[in-house]
Amino acid sequence: MLRIRGTVGDLPVDLTLELDDADWARLRAQLQTTPVASATAAPAVAVKQNDDLWQNAQDLLRAAGQLNGLELLDQLEGLAGDAAAGKRLLVRLRHSGQVKVSSGGDTPLYTWIDPL
């Protein structure tokens, strides 16, 4: 017997499951195979998405050649989907060695430079 107690939102939950030996064996087999598949697939997808996002951020500045910080941040936020992720991309570009940051008055200018 398996008892689950807790809440789902504001609703209390008290669930009792009665399993025979065959049910336990199937559950054990399922638990042994499922975590391995999900543990290896999820990080690979996240890494691929981060790599694609980073490549797109570089391509954006490379295509423009030069953007002021506010314009670049705005475009990176749109690309990444939120402000925090856009700021992380901006910092990563700044420190990548492929971007020159210079004073542009009120906002810095980000210029793409081709590495030698």
d(CA 98, CA 96): 5
Domain ranges of the chain: 2-112
The predicted structure's pLDDT at residue 45 = 62
The predicted structure's pLDDT at residue 107 = 87
Token pair belonging to 65: 């050649």
Q: Is 3 exposed, middle or buried (0-12, 13-18, 19+ CB in 10 A)?
A: exposed
pTM above 0.75, yes or no: no
pLDDT tens, residue order, the chain (116 aa)? 778 888 888 888 888 878 888 888 888 888 876 555 555 555 666 666 678 899 999 999 999 999 999 999 999 999 888 899 999 999 999 998 899 999 878 889 999 997 65
Which residue reads 């199937």 in tokens? Answer: 26
CATH classification (class only), 2-112: mainly alpha
Token pair belonging to 45: 């997808």
